[in-house]
Amino acid sequence: MKFDKIPITIVTGFLGAGKSTLLRSMLTQAEGRKIAVIINEFGEIGIDGELVKAAGCGCIEGEVVELSNGCLCCTVQEEFLPVMKKLVKLKGNIDHIVIETSGLALPKPLLKAVNWPDLKPYLTVDAVITVLDAEGVSNGSICDRNRVSKQRDADDSLDHESSIEELLEDQLSCADIVVVSKTDLVDRDKFNEGMAAWEKVIRPGVKRVEAVKGEIPLDVLLGCNSASEDDLEGRHDHHHHHHHDDEDGHSHDHDHDHQHDHHHEDSIVSHKLELPEVESSDQLIAQLKNLVEENDIYRIKGFLAVKGKAMRMVLQGVGPRFEAYFDQPWADENSRKSQLVIIGKDLDKSKLESALLG
């Protein structure tokens, strides 16, 4: 029997590339489409999910599902499968599924999961969209090749491990569409120079579209009919070479007490910090910029309670670049607290707290 399949769009890309911004833009353009959203967070606070719900796109509680495990290889085995089975049962009430992966996740295991017998008859991957930070490409902050080289020279154990560079290569090589974000912030010549290296890992024929604030017509992103799960061999995967998978691409006897011992997350950590009410967001951002200079920090995001302000402040940081804005009133006094998630390599939580709290 032939089934009509629910199309899935996978939105991937490194930390801070602009995935959530693109997702919010997509949802505001839904125009009656019934879109289910899955957000795979890396960190203890569901910030991306909160921002999507607060975007004014008509989402109600229950339409956005957050998976707490930032490692998609494990999520596929643990939370992902039951969530997808639940959505399959809602067939007829869902037009499309959009999955935003963690910035540290590999998209290919997710494609393999769609081929599992429980899901294959009902789901297909409409497209993998990889979001690429134009500013990071231009200034090299997306992946400092010189730093990666120095790290490998200093530590022989890194020779067999996948670097952040390899993670981004896998995200790009899996793409059916590459969305280049933040193009309004770059010098075009510097961007083209930096982009030349990344173009080599993008598959031939993959379209590249540019976006400011994630604003791309929804018809460009949905309805691609790529059936990406049927083209696994054409999508290069460093992860496959580092691990021995079984026939369906994932070992079902995988030890899930490994505490994220995957190569690309070996020393990447996420720390949740709670801060007192903020007197000055500018002063806090200056402190955070100092932390970025002194540590290997990839991403900072969170909510701030600013003294004298009834609105919640959203803080987003990628490398030395920060954005802060008020988005909505606090739900109540109990929810009014400053919380940050800081994601990076070999970070000491106590030292971060000491630097910010004094």
pLDDT at 193 over 80: yes
Interstrand relation of 123-133 and 6-12 (parallel, antiparallel or unpaired): parallel
Name residue, tokens 């730093």: 147
Half-sphere exposure of 19 (CA within 13 A, CB side): 28
C-beta of residue 206 within 8 angstroms of C-beta of residue 156:
no
Q: Residue 10 belongs to what H/E stretch?
A: strand 6-12
Residue 337 contacts by C-beta under 8 Å, 6 or more apart in sequence?
274, 305
pLDDT at 227 over 70: yes
- What is the band of 352 on the pLDDT scale with cuts at 50, 70, 90? very high
Residue 159 contacts by C-beta under 8 Å, 6 or more apart in sequence?
152
Spatial strand order of the sheet with 296-305 comes to 268-275, 338-345, 296-305, 311-318, 321-329
CA distance 111 to 125: 7
CB atoms closer than 10 angstroms to residue 58: 11
pLDDT digits (tens, 9 = 90+) for 309-324: 999 998 988 878 888 9
C-beta of residue 30 within 8 angstroms of C-beta of residue 64:
no
Can you tell me whether residue 48 is helix, strand or coil?
helix
> What count of residues does the chain have?
358
Token pair, residue 90, equals: 């809602």
CB atoms closer than 10 angstroms to residue 56: 11
| Residue 324 Cα to chain centre, angstroms | 19
Q: Which of 9-13, 26-30, 105-109: highest mean pLDDT? A: 9-13
CA distance 56 to 24: 9
| Residue 241 Cα to chain centre, angstroms | 23
- What is the band of 253 on the pLDDT scale with cuts at 50, 70, 90? very low
Q: Residue 75 belongs to what H/E stretch?
A: helix 72-75
